[in-house]
């Protein structure tokens, strides 16, 4: 083999085509699957990102807020580019750019200089700080660093500076989202609780949700109910603002004064129970009014529960327009069920999403045959198992906790399914197994505009069922011997 200088390069270890073919066949075998599942000290293509990425997403959901990464520049680029590629929108964030000297002497100098510059140059209303691995490993004390920053006049005394420790060797992007949301709400609402004051509003938390169509769908539903609301960590405009020729560094986000007054709300509802565990536990102790936590409203049963909860919390009946939507969603499912019924699927992703996928598939008479999650809890396992046990289509389904997409590949090639639901990172596993990948979740880099279409509510049911069934129909149609497939009955 010649290199780009025309010189012959002799491989150190020669691998014959026969040996390559043998290995390629072996990694598809049950024997390899067993070895793959026995691996302990290595993760290959995990189904999660690191904590700070979730923290950055959350920070983008507040008015005039500049996300600030305390740590290395490469890490900051990773979160920004991942968000940027998923949404195809800018994800403006800054970084304290720690290098070797920061790792030895601590990151206080970097943090102070970064804060001073960011405040002066980008004129934010709030700076939300979170950490990458390096300052966590060396034990940077953010409480002290920020106190010193204010004392030195680097940043005004009353300027909001929520911060979250987001060590990536622990947890996932979902944990980081939770930590940042908690820090922001604690900062903004400090001293704002007023006895006997009630905003009359519903505080709503979507959790780690990167589907801007979902945010718009929730708002549309609240408006149909005529429920006044405060959408906490609202990224719908931040990552889906109109293209009108004007660059806005901080489009949209929850107004800071509204977020501060949320502590006096009529009720608070989260639909990301796994993504807001710490925040919701604190909200229950700190916020006025009622508190409710529901699963993400995916599928008909979970959307029904969501609508009934809205009716209960607001005191308004479920609007007729929403009831009609439900009927149309059930009709859409009935029309489509023959294409999904009896089919087997593999699903992977964040805990809240996984529960939603499984609910919808079971409602369609399909089996979520392989259910895979990285860093899943026993609580999640129990919830998934309860869903499976409640349906005849849950039989034979298996839950894989703390597994990655290389495990998924082994499952797909040795125990076949008809389709896979998940994000872009599962593409190679699905391709190797020659099964279609239905792209939902985060991140989706290799398709456009997915995040603009809701997967929650009755509209989400229609969208997901349509996407899945039409692709299954298309695959069959492209290869069917009968050229009149589905044209004549």
**52 vs 454, which CB is nearer to ligand SF4?**
52
Q: Which strand ranges, in their side-by-side order, compose the sheet holding 267-270? A: 229-232, 202-205, 267-270, 290-293
Instruction: Say which residues have a Cβ less than 8 Å from residue 239's Cβ, sequence separation at least 6.
Output: 60, 83, 87, 89, 91, 210, 212, 451
Residue 73: CB minimum distance to ligand SF4, A: 10
Residue 97: CB minimum distance to ligand SF4, A: 13
Tell me: does residue 165 bind ligand SF4 (CB under 6 A): no
Query: Pick from 65, 96, 168, 374: which binds ligand SF4 (CB under 6 A)?
Result: 168
CA dihedral sign, ordered 78, 83, 84, 90:
negative
> Which helix (H) or strand (E) covers residue 221, if one does?
helix 212-225
Residue 45: CB minimum distance to ligand SF4, A: 14
**52 vs 443, which CB is nearer to ligand SF4?**
52
CA distances from 37 to 49, 409, 415 (A): 21, 11, 14
**33 vs 70, which CB is nearer to ligand SF4?**
70
Dist CA 236 CA 213 (whole Å): 8
How close are the terminal C-alpha atoms of the chain, in Å?
Answer: 58
Query: Pick from 133, 275, 354, 420: which binds ligand SF4 (CB under 6 A)?
Result: 133
DSSP of 35-94: HHHH--S--SS-S---HHHHHHHHHHTBTTEEEEEES-HHHHHHHHHHHHHHHTS----E
Residue 149: CB minimum distance to ligand SF4, A: 22
Interactions with ligand SF4, residue window 402-441 (CB under 6 A) = none
Rounded to 5 degrees, φ, ψ at 321 are -65, -35
**133 vs 146, which CB is nearer to ligand SF4?**
133
Residue 61: CB minimum distance to ligand SF4, A: 20
Residue 440: CB minimum distance to ligand SF4, A: 24
E strands, 255-366, where? 267-270, 290-293, 344-348
**176 vs 454, which CB is nearer to ligand SF4?**
176
Tell me: does residue 122 bind ligand SF4 (CB under 6 A): no
Q: Which of 221, 224, 201 is nearest to 213 (CA)?
A: 221
**52 vs 441, which CB is nearer to ligand SF4?**
52
Tell me: does residue 78 bind ligand SF4 (CB under 6 A): yes
Rounded to 5 degrees, φ, ψ at 132 are -95, -175
Q: How many chain residues are in contact with ligand SF4, going by CB under 6 A?
A: 7
Tell me: does residue 233 bind ligand SF4 (CB under 6 A): no
Tell me: does residue 444 bind ligand SF4 (CB under 6 A): no
Structure tokens at 134: 């390096």
**78 vs 428, which CB is nearer to ligand SF4?**
78
Tell me: does residue 164 bind ligand SF4 (CB under 6 A): no
Structure tokens at 447: 């398709």
Residue 74: CB minimum distance to ligand SF4, A: 7
Tell me: does residue 50 bind ligand SF4 (CB under 6 A): yes
Residue 58: CB minimum distance to ligand SF4, A: 16
> Which helix (H) or strand (E) covers residue 129, if one does?
strand 126-131
**57 vs 288, which CB is nearer to ligand SF4?**
57
Residue 164: CB minimum distance to ligand SF4, A: 13
Tell me: does residue 367 bind ligand SF4 (CB under 6 A): no
Residue pair 358/347 in contact (Cβ under 8 Å)? The answer is yes
Residue pair 400/348 in contact (Cβ under 8 Å)? The answer is no
Interactions with ligand SF4, residue window 326-345 (CB under 6 A) = none
**73 vs 186, which CB is nearer to ligand SF4?**
73
**74 vs 317, which CB is nearer to ligand SF4?**
74
Q: Quickly tell me which residue has 């920061």 as its tokens.
A: 102
Tell me: does residue 132 bind ligand SF4 (CB under 6 A): yes
**96 vs 132, which CB is nearer to ligand SF4?**
132
Residue pair 316/266 in contact (Cβ under 8 Å)? The answer is no
Query: Pick from 57, 59, 75, 115: which binds ligand SF4 (CB under 6 A)?
Result: 75
DSSP of 355-421: HHHHHHHHHTT-EEEEEEESS--HHHHHHHHHHHHTSGGGTT-EEEET--HHHHHHHHHHS--SEEE
Q: In terms of DSSP bridges, do strands 126-131 and 163-164 run parallel, antiparallel, or are they unpaired?
A: parallel
Residue 130: CB minimum distance to ligand SF4, A: 10
Determine the distance from the C-alpha atom of residue 485 to the mean position of all C-alpha atoms in its chain, rounded to a whole number. 38
Tell me: does residue 52 bind ligand SF4 (CB under 6 A): yes
**81 vs 117, which CB is nearer to ligand SF4?**
81
Interactions with ligand SF4, residue window 281-320 (CB under 6 A) = none
Tell me: does residue 160 bind ligand SF4 (CB under 6 A): no
Residue pair 458/221 in contact (Cβ under 8 Å)? The answer is no
Residue 71: CB minimum distance to ligand SF4, A: 6
**165 vs 236, which CB is nearer to ligand SF4?**
165
Q: Quickly tell me which residue has 């703390």 as its tokens.
A: 402
420 dihedral zone (left: phi>0; alpha: psi -120 to 50; beta):
beta
Tell me: does residue 129 bind ligand SF4 (CB under 6 A): no
Residue 326: CB minimum distance to ligand SF4, A: 42
Residues at the contact surface with ligand SF4, assessed by CB under 6 A: 50, 52, 75, 78, 132-133, 168
């Amino acid at each position: 083999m010649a290199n780009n200088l025309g010189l012959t390069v002799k491989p150190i270890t020669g691998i014959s085509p026969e040996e390559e073919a043998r290995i390629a066949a072996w990694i598809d075998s049950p024997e390899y699957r067993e070895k793959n599942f026995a691996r302990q000290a290595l993760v290959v293509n995990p189904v999660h990102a690191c904590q700070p990425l979730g923290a950055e997403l959350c920070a983008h959901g507040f008015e005039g807020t500049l996300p600030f990464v305390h740590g290395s520049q490469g890490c900051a680029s990773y979160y920004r580019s991942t968000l940027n590629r998923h949404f195809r929108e800018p994800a403006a964030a800054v970084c304290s750019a720690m290098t070797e000297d920061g790792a030895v002497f601590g990151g206080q100098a970097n943090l102070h200089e970064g804060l001073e510059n960011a405040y002066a140059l980008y004129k934010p209303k709030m700076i939300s700080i979170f950490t990458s691995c390096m300052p966590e490993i060396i034990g940077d004390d953010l409480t002290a660093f920020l106190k010193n920053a204010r004392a030195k006049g680097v940043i005004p005394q009353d300027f909001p500076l929520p911060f979250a420790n987001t060590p990536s060797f622990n947890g996932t992007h979902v944990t980081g989202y939770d930590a940042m949301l908690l820090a922001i709400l604690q900062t903004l609402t400090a001293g704002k609780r007023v006895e006997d004051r009630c905003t009359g509003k519903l505080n709503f938390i979507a959790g780690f949700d990167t589907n801007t169509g979902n945010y718009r769908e929730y708002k549309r539903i609240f408006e149909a109910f005529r429920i006044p609301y405060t959408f906490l960590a609202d990224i719908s405009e931040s990552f889906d603002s109109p293209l009108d020729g004007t660059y806005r560094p901080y489009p949209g986000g929850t107004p800071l004064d509204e977020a501060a007054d949320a502590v006096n709300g009529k009720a608070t509802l989260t639909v990301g129970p796994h993504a807001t565990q710490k925040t919701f536990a604190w909200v229950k102790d700190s916020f006025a009014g009622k508190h409710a936590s529901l699963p993400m409203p995916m599928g008909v049963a979970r959307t029904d529960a969501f609508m009934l909860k809205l009716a209960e919390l607001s005191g308004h009946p479920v609007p007729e327009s929403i009831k009609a939507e439900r009927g149309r969603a059930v009709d859409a499912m009935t029309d489509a069920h023959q294409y999904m019924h009896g089919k087997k699927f593999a699903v992977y992703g964040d805990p809240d999403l996984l529960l939603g996928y499984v609910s919808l598939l079971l409602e369609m008479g399909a089996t979520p045959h392989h259910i895979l999650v990285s860093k899943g809890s026993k609580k999640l396992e129990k919830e998934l198992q309860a869903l499976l046990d409640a349906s005849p289509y849950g039989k034979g389904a298996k839950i894989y906790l703390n597994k990655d997409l290389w495990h998924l590949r082994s499952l797909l090639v040795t125990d076949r399914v008809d389709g896979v639901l998940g994000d872009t990172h599962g593409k190679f596993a699905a391709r190797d197994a020659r099964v279609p990948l239905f792209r939902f979740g985060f991140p989706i880099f290799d398709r456009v505009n997915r995040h603009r279409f809701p997967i929650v509510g009755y509209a989400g049911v229609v969208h997901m069922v349509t996407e899945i069934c039409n692709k299954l129909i298309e695959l069959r149609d492209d290869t069917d011997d009968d050229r009149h497939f589905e044209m004549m009955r």
